[in-house]
């Protein structure tokens, strides 16, 4: 069988450039290799497609993690010769096959024939895998795929069709996610996650099964109980709070209501929590830079009676366009004088640009190169006077005739003196041209020293 991209395929929720279709026991995954989503957060590759983490395959209990990337747009080749190795369905790795039709990659997994090997982590069983990152023919694109089911869970092939169900949770609807978690959409701006469970043993974590709300906002919640030494032992107690409250000042866009917690002498009891958030909110990019934070508990948080919760809601982050980066650089540099700019370090500029873009520290990755280019463009735009143009030319001549090692040892005083000598006394005293020389030197170094 040589499938073409199906009109019945649907986007894989929360992914980039991945769609899926199901025919019987077979799952088909499609990706347009001509697309890209900019550089990765590490700055080392260009993202072609990504599942953006391990995504659940409907109600099958299986998960899929898939990434397609290349070193740069220039390294990507989609000619007929580059894709010729995969014009027919070919073994990809373990229990999966692939082919390319036009510019579309198709990966196929037949769940009637999958693996049963326990992964090296010991936490899951690998159903299918690329066996590491594999070259996609001679396109310059690499692909990594893992499909697995958590250890102790059974793969439900009869529910494979749920992978392509376009489920939308409407206002007023509730979804039983499993393991005691229910997600209820009460309004466009109000969603409540209800967790009701028997209190686990101390330190054991109850994790909400992966869930993406309407294909956009991914929810991740964990609950645990810590056996704290208390003055009062034995007997029974209960704790309840009326209404929703923000338990911690670190919380963003989260309110919690506690239900009744009954405990007996045997330490048994239940956990009853209602956590509410607004899915339309956004609090900038996550630490990885790959997603936008919708709501967060900022790690584990004590909500009373030894119960701790961790909650995160996030949506995929849009790729930053060069125009956005230029605009951020302009906001950072635009209000500063030439004198201030000449003494401003790139580290300071980078930090302020990250703040303007809503990024955390060191989230720019390879975008730093674009920031440097935008800074250089801004500096070039300051070259408006004839005098500055003459000084810039003189600085280029003074530095251009020296090796990188010589330039590194030159003092600003020496450069100013040589530029002044080249221009002659008609251009005034040294102090009159010093700031222009400093700005021109910075521009030279950013252009020529990598």
Q: pLDDT tens for residues 182-233?
A: 999 999 999 999 998 887 777 788 888 878 888 788 899 999 888 765 433 3
Q: Which residue has the tokens 């099958």?
A: 60
Min mean pLDDT across 124-138, 172-186, 322-336, 364-378 is at 364-378
Q: Is the pLDDT of residue 107 over 80?
A: yes
How many C-beta atoms lie closer than 10 Å to residue 169's C-beta? 15
Q: What integer pLDDT is reported at residue 332 of this predicted model? A: 87
Q: What value does the mean pLDDT take over residues 381-391?
A: 69
Q: Is the pLDDT of residue 242 over 70?
A: no
Q: Is the pLDDT of residue 235 over 50?
A: no
The CA distance from 8 to 164, in Å, is 9
What would you report as the CA-atom Rg of the chain, rounded to the nearest whole angstrom? 29
pLDDT band at 348 (very low <50, low <70, confident <90, very high): confident
Q: What integer pLDDT is reported at residue 277 of this predicted model? A: 96
Q: What integer pLDDT is reported at residue 325 of this predicted model? A: 80
Q: What integer pLDDT is reported at residue 157 of this predicted model? A: 93
To the nearest 10°, report the CA torsion of 78, 81, 87, 91.
-90
pLDDT band at 252 (very low <50, low <70, confident <90, very high): very high
pLDDT in tens, 392-408: 888 989 998 888 888 88
Helix (H) or strand (E) holding 313: strand 307-316
- The whole-model pTM stands at 0.55
Q: Which residue has the tokens 């700031």?
A: 435
Q: What integer pLDDT is reported at residue 166 of this predicted model? A: 62
Closest CA to 317 of 57, 39, 55: 39
DSSP 427: G
* Percent of residues, the chain, with pLDDT higher than 90: 34
Closest CA to 261 of 314, 295, 307, 315: 307
Q: Which of 1-5, 269-273, 426-430 has the highest mean pLDDT?
A: 269-273
List the structure tokens of 58. 């409907």
Q: What integer pLDDT is reported at residue 294 of this predicted model? A: 93
Q: Is the pLDDT of residue 386 over 80?
A: no
Q: Is the pLDDT of residue 156 over 60?
A: yes
List the structure tokens of 424. 């002659």
Coil vs helix vs strand at 354: helix
């Amino acid at each position: 069988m040589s499938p073409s991209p199906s009109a019945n395929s649907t986007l894989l929720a929360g992914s980039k450039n991945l769609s899926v279709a199901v025919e019987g026991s077979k799952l088909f995954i499609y990706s347009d290799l001509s697309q890209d989503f900019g550089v990765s957060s590490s700055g080392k590759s260009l993202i072609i497609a990504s599942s953006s983490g391990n995504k659940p395959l409907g109600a099958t209990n299986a998960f899929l993690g898939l990434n397609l990337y290349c070193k740069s747009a220039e390294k990507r080749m989609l000619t007929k010769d580059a894709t010729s190795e995969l014009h027919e369905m070919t073994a990809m790795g373990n229990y999966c096959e692939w082919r390319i039709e036009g510019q579309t990659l198709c990966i196929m997994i037949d769940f009637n024939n999958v693996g049963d090997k326990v992964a090296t982590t010991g936490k899951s069983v690998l159903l299918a895998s690329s066996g590491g990152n594999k070259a996609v023919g001679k396109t310059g694109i690499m692909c990594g795929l893992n499909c697995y089911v958590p250890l102790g869970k059974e793969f439900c092939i009869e529910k494979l069709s749920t992978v392509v169900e376009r489920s939308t949770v409407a206002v007023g609807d509730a979804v039983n996610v499993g393991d005691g978690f229910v997600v209820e959409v009460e309004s466009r701006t109000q969603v409540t996650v209800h967790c009701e469970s028997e209190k686990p043993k101390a330190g054991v974590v109850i994790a909400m099964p992966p869930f993406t709300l309407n294909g956009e906002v991914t929810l991740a919640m964990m609950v645990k109980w810590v056996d704290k030494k208390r003055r009062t032992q034995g007997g029974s107690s209960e704790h309840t709070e009326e209404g929703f409250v923000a338990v911690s000042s670190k919380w963003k866009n989260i309110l919690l209501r506690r239900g009744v917690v009954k405990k007996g002498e045997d330490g048994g009891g239940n956990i009853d929590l209602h956590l509410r958030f607004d899915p339309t909110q956004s609090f900038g990019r996550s630490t990885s830079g790959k997603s936008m934070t919708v709501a967060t508990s900022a790690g584990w948080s004590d909500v009373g009676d030894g119960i701790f919760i961790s909650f995160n809601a996030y949506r995929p982050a849009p790729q930053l366009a060069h125009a956005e980066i230029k605009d951020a650089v302009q906001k950072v540099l635009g209000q500063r004088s030439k004198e201030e700019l000449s003494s401003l370090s790139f580290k300071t500029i980078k930090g302020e640009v990250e703040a303007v873009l809503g990024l955390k520290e060191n989230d720019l990755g390879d975008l730093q190169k674009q920031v440097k280019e935008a800074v250089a463009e801004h500096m070039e735009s300051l070259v408006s006077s004839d005098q500055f143009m003459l000084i810039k030319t003189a600085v280029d001549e003074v530095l251009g005739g020296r090796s990188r090692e010589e330039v590194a040892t030159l003092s600003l005083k020496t450069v100013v003196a040589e530029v002044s000598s080249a221009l002659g006394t008609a251009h005034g005293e040294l102090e009159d041209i010093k700031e222009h020389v400093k700005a021109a030197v910075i521009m030279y170094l950013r252009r020529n020293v990598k």
